[in-house]
A = this chain, B = another copy of it.
């Protein structure tokens, strides 16, 4: 088989017909009759299969007995215009080699239509299904789109640390990282574990956010972003939470809250447009298979400006809403998912950016408004997802920031380096965090966050 291998995607879209080609991939189905067999081959390059036509005179049934669903084959043949519906080209087989069998008795993906729950149990094989192939190609496209967007706009990608000695941000419970013995660790005089003997000479955890380090970089490089794994040790067994997930956190010197909102909105619309342009076949499949409103919802985000209003205005709307809520709405309390969804899905019927939240329900680093009661926070709320982005203008005034840290019991000595950015050459700046899996959920229309990351981590599960 000395021809050079082509991808299924390349062959399906090729204009050069009647030439000899070589394709390798996995058999999705084989069907036919005693005269001819049709083998659907997929190599991951596209959701579409290449039809290989095997003439029974050349390929009697016994030569094809191992060409079963899931097996891996190499096919040399002639690329021709397809007679059948649904594809422009197909391959008339000249030679078929089975590279790897898949015993029909034991291969778990034998039949179609497995439940998503079942596929979660075999996450090592589920990328071979149409659904997860589509999700993973979209996940790739969105990740690349993110890098492309920032690179084109002069942002620099910074790798903030995963292992951190600080647990000051308070964004959530943390995982401890250690090399101390798991029993009888060294103790100090006070009878506590002596972390000075641990690998890093102090207690360390997995990061919950790269923001604070991102701010350090923004105060030198101007516009930066992170894109890395973050962790939460909350015991949340829901369809919306993961213990390990990826976050994108841009941070920009000289941006105020308005600039920050403009960027977040432009960024999200760019990414949705990018997915529609790069992965039309995958999106069409997910739309048809899971959620007939998916493509409409995506186009809606592109076509409509996001509604911007303050938290205070949102509370007024919610208080006079005809809808009954499970949780009462009062100025000063955090909004619940039901409130956010009412605003987005019922009241405005478009994405919403809420701003200027009460300071007591937001993080210490957010810039105080003039009234001293609210901060320059912004949450972007999406239909079906709720909060997809959370951000703020940062407090750049050293004394105000220290005041907020004292009020919220954030230890200054742990964050001396963070305070230094306000001591030396402080600049107004802003940033936000986008949960990558929330974005992939929205764009794919999947409903469980465990289905949009290859190998999900959640309580009692770290398989594969």
Contacts and interface: CB of A to CB of B under 8 A. Distances in A.
Interface stretch (A50-58, A154-162, A335-343, A399-407): A154-162
A87 interface: no
Interface string A188-230: 0000110000011110101000000100110111110000110
Contacts of A425: 26-27, 70-72, 100-102, 107, 128
A192 B173 CA distance: 25
B199 A44 contact: no
Interface in A107-141: 107, 124-125, 127-128, 132-133, 136-137, 139-140
B254 A5 contact: yes
10 contacts: A9-B154, A24-B254, A102-B424, A127-B217, A128-B219, A136-B217, A140-B157, A162-B162, A199-B243, A217-B454
B124 A161 contact: no
A235 to B, nearest CB: 8
Contacts of A221: 44-45, 127, 133, 136-137
Nearest to A27: B425
A170 interface: no
Interface string A81-112: 00000000000000000011111001100000
Interface in A300-328: none
Nearest to A212: B464
Contacts of A422: 100
Contact of A156 (B71, B140, B179, B244): B140
A193 B199 contact: no
Given A136-B156, A157-B140, A199 B7 contact: no
Given A124-B420, A193-B183, A161 B244 contact: yes
A213 B455 contact: yes
A243 B128 CA distance: 34
B204 A24 contact: no
Contacts of A44: 156, 220-223, 253
A331 interface: no
A239 interface: no
A70 B424 contact: yes
A199 B457 CA distance: 10
Contacts of A426: 72, 99-101
A156 B26 CA distance: 17
A417 B124 contact: yes
Contacts of A217: 127, 136, 454
A418 B455 CA distance: 13
Contacts of A72: 425-427
Contacts of A140: 151, 156-158
A175 interface: yes
Contacts of A332: none
A182 interface: yes
A453 interface: yes
